[in-house]
Amino acid sequence: MRFPLKATWLALTLAATTWSLPAAAADVQLSIDAGKPGPVIHRNVYGQFAEHLGTGIYEGMWVGPDSKVPNVRGWRKDVVGALKALKVPLVRWPGGCFADEYHWRDGIGPRGKRPVKVNTHWGGVPENNAVGTHEFFDLVEQLGAEAYVNGNLGTGSAQEMAEWLEYMTAEGSSTLAQQRRKNGRDKPFKVSYFAVGNEAWGCGGNMTPEYYTNQYRQVATFLKTPPGNKPQFVASGGNAQDTRWTEVLSTQNIKFNFDLIGHHYYSFPGGEWEKKGPAVGFDESAWIWLLAQAQDFGKTVEANIAVLDRNDPQKRIGLALDEWGSWYDPEPGSNPGFLVQRNTMRDAMLAALHFHMFHEHADRVRMTNIAQMVNVLQAMILTDKTRMVLTPTYHAFAMYTPFQDATTLPSTLAGNPAYALAGKTLPTVSASAARGKDGKLYLALLNVNPREAQTVKLALQGASATRAVGRVLSAAAMDSENTFAQPQAVQPVAYEAKAAGGTLSLPLPPKSIVVVALED
State the residues that interact with ligand AHR by CB under 6 A.
51, 95-97, 198-199, 203, 323, 371-372, 377
CA angle 240, 434, 40 (to 5 degrees): 65
Query: Is the Cβ–Cβ distance between 239 and 297 less than 8 Å?
Result: no
Residue number, nearest CB to ligand AHR: 96
Task: Return the HEC string of 342-401.
Answer: CCEHHHHHHHHHHHHHHHHCCCCEEEEEEECCECCCCCCEEEECCEEEECHHHHHHHHCH
Phi, psi of 355 (to 5 degrees): -55, -45
Q: Which pairing describes strands 117-119 and 454-461: parallel, antiparallel, or unpaired?
A: unpaired
Query: Is the Cβ–Cβ distance between 53 and 338 less than 8 Å?
Result: yes
The least distance separating ligand AHR from the CB of residue 416, rounded to whole angstroms, comes to 33
The least distance separating ligand AHR from the CB of residue 120, rounded to whole angstroms, comes to 12
Query: Is the Cβ–Cβ distance between 55 and 123 less than 8 Å?
Result: no
Residues composing the chain: 520
Q: Is 199 a catalytic residue?
A: yes
Residue among 259 and 323 whose Cβ is closer to ligand AHR: 323
Q: Report the C-alpha gap between 8 and 211 in whole angstroms.
A: 57
Catalytic pick from 247, 323, 360, 481? 323
Query: Is the Cβ–Cβ distance between 514 and 495 less than 8 Å?
Result: yes
Catalytic pick from 135, 146, 163, 199? 199
The least distance separating ligand AHR from the CB of residue 374, rounded to whole angstroms, comes to 13
Query: Is the Cβ–Cβ distance between 308 and 365 less than 8 Å?
Result: no
Residue among 100 and 135 whose Cβ is closer to ligand AHR: 100
Residue among 48 and 482 whose Cβ is closer to ligand AHR: 48
Residue among 81 and 337 whose Cβ is closer to ligand AHR: 337
Residue among 246 and 449 whose Cβ is closer to ligand AHR: 246
The least distance separating ligand AHR from the CB of residue 151, rounded to whole angstroms, comes to 14
Q: Report the C-alpha gap between 436 and 434 in whole angstroms.
A: 6
DSSP designation for 21: P
> 360 to each of 26, 186, 405, 429, 433, how far by Cα in Å?
26, 41, 14, 15, 10
Residue among 97 and 234 whose Cβ is closer to ligand AHR: 97
The least distance separating ligand AHR from the CB of residue 502, rounded to whole angstroms, comes to 49
The least distance separating ligand AHR from the CB of residue 88, rounded to whole angstroms, comes to 17
Residue among 382 and 431 whose Cβ is closer to ligand AHR: 382
| Tally of CA atoms within 13 A in the half-sphere of 233 that contains its CB | 21
Q: Report the C-alpha gap between 454 and 462 in whole angstroms.
A: 25
The least distance separating ligand AHR from the CB of residue 159, rounded to whole angstroms, comes to 24
Q: Report the C-alpha gap between 471 and 90 in whole angstroms.
A: 24
**Helix H or strand E encompassing 127:** strand 125-127
Catalytically annotated residues: 199, 323
